[in-house]
Structure 1
Amino acid sequence: PITETCDGTDQDCDGVVDDGACMVPPTVMCPAPLTTRPLVAVTLVGTAMDADGVIASWSWTLVSSPPGSTGSFGSPASPVTSFTPNLVGVYTIRLTVTDDDGLTATCTTTVTATGDGIRVELQWNTNFSDVDTHLLRMAGGTGWFNSPNDCYYANANPSWDAAGTPDDPRLDIDDVEGYGPENINLDVPVTGATYRVGIHYYADDGVGASTATVRIYCGDIAVTPAYMTSRTLANGGGITSDANDFWRVADVRWNGGDSCTVTAINTLTTGGTARTTP
C-alpha cells in the first residue's frame, strides 16, 4: 500500500477509492435579483453545500454600485444578511463561501433601488463642506427658506397640498460634513404641479469652491435620471450663508403616471436673494 492520491484507485488498500484524497469545492447559490427603494433594506439569503466537508465561512461584498453611492450589509459574514442601498441604481453583490479545505465558490446577484414619484439627489466634491438640497412648491408663491413651501434641512417634512403624507416631501439625508449624498423624495406629486430644485452652498468650512451634481428621477421604475447637471458653487465671503451661492437648478412638472418634464434653469444668486425670489 502507498499513500492515497486522487487518481480513481485504492492505493492504500483500505477498500475505499481515493479515500478523501480528492477535495471537492463547495457549491453556492445567490438569491434572485431584488428591487427596493433607497434606504429600504432587503434580505439576502445565500445557500451553499460541500460534498466532502462543511462550509467554514461566508462573505457578502459589494462589487459595483451607482456613482457616489454606498451600500451597507447587516451581517456580511452570515448566510443571511440585510442590504441597504442609499441611492437609485443597480448594486451588484457577490457571495463567497469557503469550505473546511480552504476551497471557495462564488455567485453574484443584484439589488436595484428605484425612485418613487420625484426624487432629487445631490452630491458634491469637497470634504467637510455643507451643501443643501431644496425643493420648492411653486404653487405656494413664496421664496426659498420658508415653511411650508420649501423642503430643506430646517423644514424636512412639510405638509403640502392634500391631507395625509403621500404628497408631502421629505429630506431623507442631510449631510453636513462633505460629499453627500443628500436626497429629497416626493412619493405622490400633484398632477400638473411644478416643483423647483435649488442647491445652496451653506458653508465651505475653509475648503473653497465645490462642484455640485444633481440627479432628478421621475417615476417608481426609474433607475436612469430624467435630468442630471453639475455646477461649481462658491462661498460669498460673508459672515452668514446668505452671501453664498444659491443655484436654481430646474423646474420639474409632474405629468402623472411615471412621467415628468424637467426644464433647466441653471442660474446663480445668493442665499439672501433666494429668500424672497423663487
Structure 2
Amino acid sequence: MLRKQCVIVLVVSLMTAACSDDSRNRRGPDDWDLNDDVSVEDDAGDVGDEVDGDVLDADAPDADTPDADTPDADTPDADTPDADIPDVDTPDADTPDADTPDADTPDADTPDADTPDADEPDVEMPGTCVELWAGGAPAGEDFDFGAQNEATTLSFELRLCEGAAPTRVNSLEVVGDAYTLALGSVSGWPAPIEEGRTLNFTLTFDPQEVDLDGELVVGVVDGPGEFRFGLTGERMDYSPECPVVTPQAAPSFTAVGPANPGEATGGLFDLSVAGTYVPARFSAQWYVVETPVGATSPVFYDRSDEAPTRVRLDAPGDYVIGLKLRDEQLGQDCAPEMLPVAVIESAFGDNDAVVTVTWSNAQVPNPSEGNGTDMDLHLCHPDGEFNTTDGWCVYWRSAATVWHTGNAELVIDDLYGVTGEMISQEFALPGFSYRVGVEYYSDNGYGPSLATAKLYQRGVEAHVQTRLLQYLDFWRPFDFDPATGVTVVDTVQAGSPLP
C-alpha cells in the first residue's frame, strides 16, 4: 500500500512540473534534437521519465512471482517415488512362492520311510541263496549246452538252496551273444523265491555265434545282491560228406500239387527231401524253427519209411520248417536247411476239393446275361453215373448232396459264360477216384468254345486242362484221387452220356 501511495505522489509531482510555465523547459519541434542523449544531467524532465521507467521495470519481478510457484508445481512430482512404494511390495507377494519348497518337505521323507524296509532283509543276509536247475536237477555253477549245430532252447528254473530263507529276484539277464533269455509267467516283480515257488525261464543257445561263452546274472533284493552262473556250449562239426538237398512241402491232400508251394491253405503237408543222398547212411529229421504268433506248435507224423513225413499247419501265417540230415556213418550232422511255408486263408473255405470250368468264345468276347454260351460241370462219386439224380453226381439237376458226411454242391451255375461254374467237395478221401465231366449244353449259334477245367485241393491249384468243344460235346478231362493224384482222361463224346 505504501508503494502505491509513493507512486501516486510521484505522478502528481511530475504532472505539476509539466504544466508549469517555465519556458526553459519548453522546446519547439524545431529545437528537438533526435540524437540527443537523454540523461539525468541533461534534463530534469528526463529524470522524471527515467524514474517512471524504473518504476514499471520494478513491477516485472512482481510478474515473476507466479514463476516462483513453478517449483511448487513440481512438488507432486516428488510424490512419484512415493507411488513406487507399492512396487516394493511385489517381492512380498512372492513370499508364498517361497513356501513351495516347504511343501516338498514331506516328499523328501518318502525315501526315509523306505529305509526301514531296506534294513529288514539285511537280517537275512547270511541265509540267502538261489541255485540254477535244468531238467529237474541242479545245474551247478556252470551249465554246458554241449555240442550243437543249431539253435537249442532249454528250460530252467531258479530255486532256493536247501535251508535258505525266502528271497525275491529283482533282475534276471543273460550276458553273451550266443544266448537268449525268455521269461515264463511272472505274477509279480520282484519275483518271490521260496519253498515250493520257483522262477521259470528258457535259454536259447545259438552255436553259430562267434563268442560261445556267456553268463546268467540273477539279482536279488537280499545280500549278497546277485548270483552268477556260467554258460558254455560248442559248435558241432559238420560231416564233410553231406549231400546237397532241398526240403520240399506239398499239401498232403493232393499228390499232384506243385512242389514246395509259396503258399497254401492250412491242413496237412507232406515233407520230402529233393536231392541225391543215401537214406541208409543219412537220416532226416524235421523240426520247427518259426511259427506265427499264437499258433500251436506243428505236429509231425512219420507215416512210414517210404512215405514223406507229414506235418499239420493249421493257423494262417508264416512258418519255417527245418531239415537236418545226420551222417550215421561218421556220427556227424549236416548243416540244417530251412523251408518257409506260408499258410493263407482259403478262398474256398475248408473244402478238400473244388472243381471249376470256364469257357470263352471268339464270337462272344464279352458275354453277359442273355448273351453267351452255356456249359455244364459234372462231378461224380465213384459209385455214381453221369446225368443221374440219385445223389452220387453233382450238376445242375442235382445241385447238392452229402459224401463222406461232408457237403458236395454246385456253388456257381452259369448259363452264359460270364463266371464259369464251380462244384465244392468238403471231404475228398484217399482211395476214392472222383470223376469230372463237362457238357457243352448250348452254343446259342456262336459255335465252338474253348473250355478250361481246374482242380483245387485245399485252396491249391492242383491241375489245369483245356479242350475246344463243339455244341453237345461231353468232355471227360480227368479223374482225381487224393492218394494218387490226377488221372488225365481227356475224351470227348457227342451227346451227354446216359445213365
- Give the structure-2-normalised TM-score: 0.28
Q: Which has the higher contact order (CA 8 A, sep 6+)?
A: 1
Greater strand content: 1
When Rg is computed on C-alpha atoms for both structures, the one with the higher figure is 2
Greater helix content: 2
- Give the structure-1-normalised TM-score: 0.49
